[in-house]
Structure 1
Amino acid sequence: MANTTRVPQGSPRTHRISRGHWTTVIALSVAVAVVSVLIGTVKIQLGPAAVVLFPIIWAVVIGAILGTQRFRPVSPAARAVATLLLEIGIVVFLARLGTQIGPTLANFANIGPAIVLQEVGHIFGTVILALPVAVALGLGRVAIGATWSIDRESFLAYAIQRFGVRSPEYRGVFSVWLLGSLFGAVFISLLAGFLGGLSIFDPRALALGLGLGSASMMLGGAGALSLLYPERAGEIMALAALSNLVTNIVGFYAGVFLSLPLCRRLYTFWSRIFGRDDDGRRINRRGPVGSTGNAASAASPTDTAAPQPAIDSDPVVRPTGKTMLLAYAVVGVSGLLMNFIGTKTFAPSDILGMAILLVLTAASFRLAKLVPSIPSSVWVLGIATVLSATFLPSSSLIAGLTGHLDVILLGVPTLGLIGLTVGRDIPALKSLSWRVVIVALITYTASFIAAAALGQTVLHL
């Protein structure tokens, strides 16, 4: 009889998660990762710039095709397994990034102000540039949620508590979060590669701009820049990870206490300028105009607000000791396999290096449970950075054991898992207004470019 993991009571669905679901997900994720690594990197020249398609992008695309096909759909139970492996895999990737940051900390002392100021770009770039577009397109109060940040997981949780799941603000946060989770890594990698090819920005400034608070977006963008500047790949990855760490530590609080109040005030201003009510409909210019309380009779009946995305859910894998041991083993072995296929070499120390990354990952999850206000991504980056810093005796040991593990190759299976879970969000994607998609892309672009521009300014003072 197959070993099963039951969904905890109270879960919205009661699918049985069996050994077959684990086998399916493991086989699919490994196959997607192997094919993606074998395809390799494809560089498409567009005038002076270039679009770089590398294994991480192939993994997302191929995984998404498998995750949305109708012939043999990926079941909710299988997606639950993929979600668990994804959560572990992304933290393992961050652990490896942390071990790259520590030995190079001293090299970044002279650009410390740029790392801090890039957060200003992330906070206000979206509000200043994306908000007026969102209001003009008729999103109403959805525009507030869609543009006060790039809406990663911590902001989504805050929006649920602050505004409620039926609020327009939450619909905006949810839409941008969903689009970013599904397509953010691909979009940012293409954007970073294009801007990097133009040679307008210092690659270090672009790396700083990638600290968007999303590990997958940062991974995609840093991978594209590393291919354009292979001689500076290590510096780019370390800077992007440092920037992302700063965003994860202070970005949430800055967003809540600075960006959101500014966004709400500017929303009132832009609503008056464009003549829109809180539902995004046009109002009679001769009538009262404001951010609240606009008369529905003054709105055009054909000018409707953005639809509310449907929210789907999968079962949850019960985190028993045996289940978690299996999940960690799958992530570790698949990472080692991709590293071997990609580098065409294998060192016995790779196994010990992966073991260190898995231990750091497990410790970060434990610490996140003890201190819920600090997510596991912040814990693992901080701990790995400190332990690998040159002022500690552990630095040389960790560097020696993990040095052969390619961080990009470790991230390929994880990005493939993102694609496999896309099927869960198809109903929500179908209900998204095209206006929300445009605003989401502007939000990502504005945040990235504004932060990179500030970094560029500070670096060249």
Structure 2
Amino acid sequence: MRNEATTAQGSQPPVSAATRPAPFRAGTRLWIGVIAVSTAVSAAAILIGTHKFQMGPAAIVLLPILWAVLIGSAIGIQKWKPVGGRARAVSAHLMDVSIVFFLAGLGTGIGPSLTKFADIGPAILLQEVGHVVGTVILALPVAVALGMGRAAVGATWSIDRESYLAFAIQRFGVRSPEYRGVFSVWVLGSVFGAVFISILAGLLGGLDFFDPRALAMGLGLGSASMMLGGVGALSILYPEAAGEIMALAALSNLVTNIVGFYAGVFIALPLCQRLYRMWSRLFGRDDLGRRVGKVRAEGGDGAGVQSVDIHGIETDPAVVRTPTTWIIAFAAAGGGGLLLNALGTGSFRALDVVGVLVLLALAAVSLVLAKLVPAVPSSIWVLALATIASASFMPTGAFVASAAQNINVLYAGLPMIALIGMSLGRDIKALRSLSWKVVVVGLMTLTASFVAAAAIAEAALHL
């Protein structure tokens, strides 16, 4: 439930009472239209499917999640029948449920593997420090120097995969510079991440400086496609160790999926925000990325910069949220999830209905907890609850894991991605303003995360 506290209103542009659109009650036709279009976009993305293009040792992998955001974005920015502010307001309400539903599915996939921590060595655990520190220490100053403004925080506090994108929507709001930084790097990573990491892994592997096991552990970036791209390159260089490379990379990716999100939220993000203020003063940049000379420290915090760059972003009205609208949003997430999961996996079990109901229940509890404890957003609550509920050592573990086993969240959660794309019309000017800077910073973020993690794993292997 994205309330005032969890959307970080301070990071959004102030809107006067005279210009703020009045809240409205969305009609049935508008709800049906938004739900139908997002579901259709998701179904089209699944039908287009996954396509892999080999480029020597590297490979470009195009997944349904990419098609969903591209098709959704095309709808969001087209001028023939524009997606208006009211439709985007309905989309925002639907996303509140779709996001936590998606994260609940991720959590139930992590919980059954928690016991594997008993067999994880210090090298795999310590490499996570590289993912947390590498991006913030190495990429952030470059982003600030290039003039990305507060979008630099979103672009460099992590490698910005799906769970971070979901968190950014709730923590900062979709009108914030931080969110646009996250979204831009997410798109960049989705399109070019796998091929870039595979090329980088091949280059580093060919130098014979790193132990291939350290490089394999560095591939635990939280992205399956990037991990597989890197594994493919390393397996060609070290065919005799291909099995071990795959196992270590997968285990490292598991650690990142379990630990990395929390480390990113509670360690990397606060660190990034603090360092951003320091680098902004040193480089003489304001929150818009403009050169202003030395920023005058007002109030002892360098708060001389008060303005927020919204680059012509429209201010959408707020839809009036009632018990009925929440029921519609939950029904859309659950029904759409079942339909798309069946379409994507090619199978449907009666138990899948139970699985979706379990995920929706976890989502509902998390939204309530976020309302009661505003300091902790629902994205944190749901991932924690779903992971614990599906853990093998919990009484509920076997039931929850079995019920959700056939639910592929990358299919069931596609409407969230489609809705994000459909709302792009509001942000297109801001994204254009980042231009080539995002490419430079995004690739540096991926590089810093991989190399720093591999370096720490290398040191831990030789302790």
Taking structure 2 as the reference length, what is the TM-score of the superposition? 0.73
**Structure 1 pair 99–340 and aligned structure 2 pair: CA distance change class (3 A):** same
> Percent identity at matched positions?
36
Equivalence for 1:434: 435
| 1:245-264 superposed matches below 5 A | 246-255=259-268, 258-264=271-277
* 1:181 corresponding residue in structure 2: 183
Q: In structure 2, what is the Cα distance between the partners aligned to 1:110 and 1:84?
A: 42
Q: Which residue type is aligned with residue 350 of structure 2?
A: P
Q: Deviations over 1:181-200 (max 9, x none)?
A: 25614524631354247565
Deviation at 1:178, TM superposition (A): 0.7
Structure 2 vs 1, CA of residues 121 and 106 (structure 1 numbering), >3 Å: closer, same or farther? Answer: same
Q: 1:285-296 counterparts in 2 under 5 A? A: 291-292=294-295
Q: Which amino acid aligns with 1:51?
A: I
Checking the alignment, whether the CA contact within 8 Å between 1:176 and 1:440 is kept in structure 2 is no
The residue aligned with 1:33 is 42
Contact 1:32 1:416 in 2 (8 A): yes
Answer yes or no: is 1:23 the counterpart of 2:32. Answer: yes
Change (3 A) 1:411 1:459: farther
Residues 144, 280 of structure 2: 8 Å contact kept = yes
Partner of residue 217 from structure 2, selected from 181, 190, 205: 205
- Tell me whether 141-150 or 151-160 shows the greater mean CA deviation: 151-160
- The one-letter code sitting in structure 1 at the alignment partner of 2:264 is G
Using a 3 Å threshold, how does the CA distance of structure 1 residues 238 and 64 change in structure 2: closer, same or farther? farther
Instruction: Normalising by structure 1, report the TM-score.
Output: 0.74
Give the direction of change, closer, same or farther, for the CA distance of 1:124–1:310 in structure 2 (3 Å limit): farther
SS at match of 2:413: helix
Runs of at least 5 residues in structure 1 that lack an aligned partner in the other structure: 1-8, 161-172, 211-220, 284-290, 295-305
Distance 1:129 1:360, change over 3 A: same
- Structure 2 CA distance for partners of 1:194 and 1:383, relative to 1, 3 Å: same
Shift, 1:375, TM fit: 1.5
Contact 1:125/1:451, CA 8 A, preserved across alignment:
yes
Instruction: Find the partner of 1:91 among 65, 89, 100.
Output: 100
Give distance in 1, aligned partners of 2:246 and 2:366. Answer: 26
> Do the aligned partners of residues 228 and 87 (structure 1) sit closer, same or farther apart at CA in structure 2, a change above 3 Å counting?
farther
Of the candidates 18, 21, 26, which is equivalent to residue 13 of structure 1? 21
Give 1:312 deviation, angstroms: 3.0
Distance 2:185 2:150 in 1: 20
- Retained in 2: the 8 A contact 1:92–1:357? yes
Aligned residue number for residue 3 of structure 2:
none
1:4-23 Cα offsets, whole Å, 9 max, x none, are: xxxxx969213552212111
Q: Equivalent residue of 1:209, what SS?
A: coil
1:363 corresponds to which residue? Answer: 365
Change (3 A) 1:349 1:130: same
Give the 5 Å matches for 1:244-323: 244=257, 246-255=259-268, 258-265=271-278, 271=283, 281=291, 291-292=294-295, 309-323=311-325
1:76 to 48, 73, 85: 85
Q: What amino acid is the match of 2:221?
A: G
Secondary structure at the aligned position of 1:208 is classed as coil
Q: CA separation in 1, counterparts of 2:124 and 2:403?
A: 29
Check 1:146–1:57 CA distance in 2 against 1; reply closer, same or farther (3 A cut).
closer
In 2, Cα distance between equivalents of 1:175 and 1:80: 19
Alpha-carbon spacing, 1:87–1:336, altered in 2? closer, same or farther (3 Å) = same
Partner of 2:305: none
Question: Are residues 90 and 457 of structure 1, via their aligned partners in 2, closer, same or farther at CA, if it must alter by over 3 Å?
Answer: farther
Aligned position for 1:351: 353
Tell me whether 1:124 sits opposite 2:133 in the alignment: yes
Is it true that 1:403 corresponds to 2:405 in the alignment? yes
Closer/same/farther in 2, CA of residues 145 and 331 from structure 1, 3 Å limit? closer
Distance 1:120 1:428, change over 3 A: same
The letter of the residue matching 1:359 is A
Q: Check whether the contact 1:80–1:317 (CA below 8 A) recurs between aligned residues.
A: yes
Q: Distance in 2 between matches of 1:367 and 1:13?
A: 29
Kindly tell me: are residues 184 and 326 of structure 1, through their superposed partners in 2, closer, same or farther at Cα, counting changes over 3 Å?
same
Listed one character per residue, the Cα deviations across residues 36-71 of structure 1 (whole Å, up to 9, x for unaligned) are 111111111222111100111111111111111111
8 A contact 2:68–2:418 mirrored in 1: yes
> Cα–Cα, structure 1 residues 180 and 132, in superposed 2: closer, same or farther, change >3 Å?
closer
- Asked if 1:133 is matched to 2:137, the reply is no
> CA contact under 8 A between 2:144 and 2:285: conserved in structure 1?
no
Q: Shift of residue 117 of structure 1?
A: 4.0
Q: 1:336 to 1:46 in 2, by over 3 A?
A: same
CA-based RMSD: 4.0
- Describe the shift of the 1:240–1:73 C-alpha distance in structure 2 as closer, same or farther (beyond 3 A): farther
Equivalent position of 1:335 in the other structure: 337
Q: Quote the offset at 1:128 in angstroms.
A: 3.3
Write the distance in 2 (CA, Å) between the matches of 1:311 and 1:237.
40
Task: Give the letter for the 1:209 counterpart.
Answer: L
Kept after mapping to 1: 8 A contact 2:144/2:279: no
The Cα shift of 1:422 comes to: 0.7
The 1:34–1:235 alpha-carbon spacing in structure 2 relative to 1, beyond 3 Å, is farther
Partner of 2:4: none
Corresponding residue pairs, total: 406
Quote the residue 1:325 is aligned against. 327
Is the contact between residue 96 and residue 357 of structure 1 (CA under 8 Å) also seen in structure 2? yes
5+ residue gaps, structure 2:
1-15, 206-211, 233-242, 298-307
